[in-house]
Amino acid sequence: MSKVLVIGAGGVGSVAVHKMAMNADIFSDITLASRRKFKCDEIASSVKKRTGITVKTAELDAMDVGATVALIKETGAVLLVNLALPYQDLVLMDACLDAGINYMDTANYEPPEEAKFEYHWQWAYHERFKKAGLTAILGSGFDPGVTSVYATWLRKHKLETIRQIDVLDCNGGDNGKAFATNFNPEINIREVTAPARHWEKKKGEAGDWIESPAMTTKVAFDFPAVGEKNMYLMYHEELESMKTHFPEIERARFWMTFGDAYINHVTVLQNIGMTSIKPIMHNGQEIIPLQFLTSVLPDPSDLGELTKGKTCIGDIATGMKDGIEKTYYIYNICDHEECYAEVGSQAVAYTTGVPAMIGAAQILKGNWAKAGVWNTEQLDPDDYMDMLNKQGLPWEVHELDGPVSF
């Protein structure tokens, strides 16, 4: 029975809070705080209608550490779940240290003025959390999050080492909009327009990142329950944490599917400067083109009702077991309409919000209550994997004939 403070009343925050309320034996008291209180109130009212549970709400600018510490003390929370934006990660970690509570998020820190996400800023907090006897879990969404837990589970139960890993993220859903992102548009567009990077290392060598221009490496892949889709090589944060924590990895890559219409829109927007994060003057006022673009794009949390189809996200990993090389594909299939019926959100928010709830539960149940800053692949996967099956994200694992051919 534990009190939790969730920050961020967006698509992901909404799913996580609904699922926490459905697990009231673990989350005895939930407060949802965000920049605009009315968004928290809308979510609280949906939770009340669906579960009968009361969620407390509050207005908070998470950049204000003093205000966050005061809210933590007022609520008596023992865990802060950060489902706002990556820009808030460090200030919220500071607030948790000040108030003496645990921390969890779903996306790693990136500085607002530079589209660059790396773990070193958050890993630098390890000694402070360790000394304070507090836990910080980084990246418990689906990717990152479940994709790393999958790898750890494979490494615990099916393989002894992982030589190569490919994370495959497919959204086979359609929302009927000409162009819309499935999660926060600003963060999504910063991610997809960044150069692609993957990890390669020859045995005995230090290894390096191999960079290529964004959206230039394309492979057609036949996804279970979705069918054939084009997926593109991208950089994603779990590549950094997995190659660090599983140092035997010789190649780690991340792939995401995009339809031709999405690629065409992003290309045009990029060519005309609308995805830039450099401030410009407009009518005597300084604006950031990408933030202006975000304000005219559909709000992903409004897409739930419109989205049909399925997502399929998973890992293909090759490694050794008892002297024999083996390859496994482990994945989840999630249906947009089923998610909407259960919690009023589409599957991209659902596949992030459910693992956020499960990661928080691991801390509160004591399974992941280890002092320091941790990524999900560093922690025991078994109860998390069990909860995925019971909480709406069942997984399947299949042995493949051999390593991927692409």
Q: Which residues bind ligand NDP (CB under 6 A)?
A: 7-13, 34-36, 39, 60-63, 83-86, 88, 106-107, 139, 141-145, 183-184, 187, 300-301, 352
Q: How many CA atoms are closer than 13 Å to the CA of 35, on its beta-carbon side?
A: 7
Q: Please, what is the minimum distance in Å from the beta carbon of residue 311 to ligand NDP?
A: 11
DSSP string, 307-362: -BSEEEEEEEEEEEETTEEEEEEEEEEEEHHHHHHHHSS-HHHHHHHHHHHHHHHH
CA proximity to 6, closest of 373, 390, 388, 359: 359
Q: Please, what is the minimum distance in Å from the beta carbon of residue 337 to ligand NDP?
A: 19
C-alpha–C-alpha distance, residues 55 and 327, integer Å: 44
Q: Please, what is the minimum distance in Å from the beta carbon of residue 93 to ligand NDP?
A: 14
C-alpha–C-alpha distance, residues 268 and 255, integer Å: 22
Please say which residue, 307 or 327, places its beta carbon nearer to ligand NDP: 307
Cβ-proximal residues to 242 (8 Å cutoff; 6+ apart), any chain: 148, 151, 165, 249, 252, 377
CA proximity to 141, closest of 327, 291, 305, 332: 332
Please say which residue, 52 or 66, places its beta carbon nearer to ligand NDP: 66
Q: Please, what is the minimum distance in Å from the beta carbon of residue 142 to ligand NDP?
A: 4
Cα→Cα distances 60→110, 127, 132, Å? 20, 28, 25
Please say which residue, 4 or 159, places its beta carbon nearer to ligand NDP: 4
Tokens of 131: 């000394």
Q: Please, what is the minimum distance in Å from the beta carbon of residue 329 to ligand NDP?
A: 19
Q: Please, what is the minimum distance in Å from the beta carbon of residue 324 to ligand NDP?
A: 33
C-alpha–C-alpha distance, residues 390 and 387, integer Å: 5
| Residues, the chain | 406
Please say which residue, 9 or 78, places its beta carbon nearer to ligand NDP: 9
Q: Which residue is nearest to ligand NDP (CB)?
A: 10
Please say which residue, 163 or 258, places its beta carbon nearer to ligand NDP: 258
Q: Which residue has the tokens 């139960």?
A: 157
Q: Please, what is the minimum distance in Å from the beta carbon of residue 63 to ligand NDP?
A: 5
Please say which residue, 142 or 384, places its beta carbon nearer to ligand NDP: 142
Please say which residue, 132 or 393, places its beta carbon nearer to ligand NDP: 393
